[in-house]
Amino acid sequence: MGSITKMGAKALRSTLVQAAHVLMSQCRTAEAVPLQAIAQRVRGSRGRRKIAVVALARHLLRIAYYILRDETEYEASRLEHAEDDRAVA
């Protein structure tokens, strides 16, 4: 993956970071658990909450892109399976 930069739309970037903050701290639904696990994994390996928030924001953007491209809906179970595959590898 590429590095995280400040290129692109500032409003979109700040909105995604804000969504990641809320997702990490306030969401308690089953759909949020796989995304929170991704943030916790990044935080555990990188050590800083800010890095995890930005990584989660980037992940949210990728999910939004694939949902729009494929005209599908968000399915948390797909992320859970991807995390399981990553743990095995």
Whether residue 67 lies inside any domain: the answer is: yes
For the cut 80, the answer to whether the pLDDT of residue 75 exceeds it is yes
Helices (H) and strands (E) in the chain, counts: 4, 0
Whether residue 60 lies inside any domain: the answer is: yes
Compute the distance between CA of residue 83 and CA of residue 48 in angstroms, rounded to an integer: 21
At 27-39, the pLDDT tens digits run 888 889 999 998 9
- Decide: 62 and 70 in contact? Cβ < 8 Å: no
Q: Which residues, at least 6 apart from 59, have a Cβ–Cβ distance to it below 8 Å?
A: 35, 38
Amino acid at 43: R
Q: What is the pLDDT of residue 48?
A: 85
- Decide: 34 and 80 in contact? Cβ < 8 Å: yes
At 9-21, the pLDDT tens digits run 999 999 999 999 9
Which of 82 and 37 is assigned the larger pLDDT?
A: 37
Encoded tokens for 3: 């590095």
For the cut 70, the answer to whether the pLDDT of residue 88 exceeds it is no
Q: Structurally, how many domains does the chain consist of?
A: 1
Determine the structural domain holding residue 41 and report its residue range. Answer: 10-88
Whether residue 4 lies inside any domain: the answer is: no
Compute the distance between CA of residue 13 and CA of residue 79 in angstroms, rounded to an integer: 22
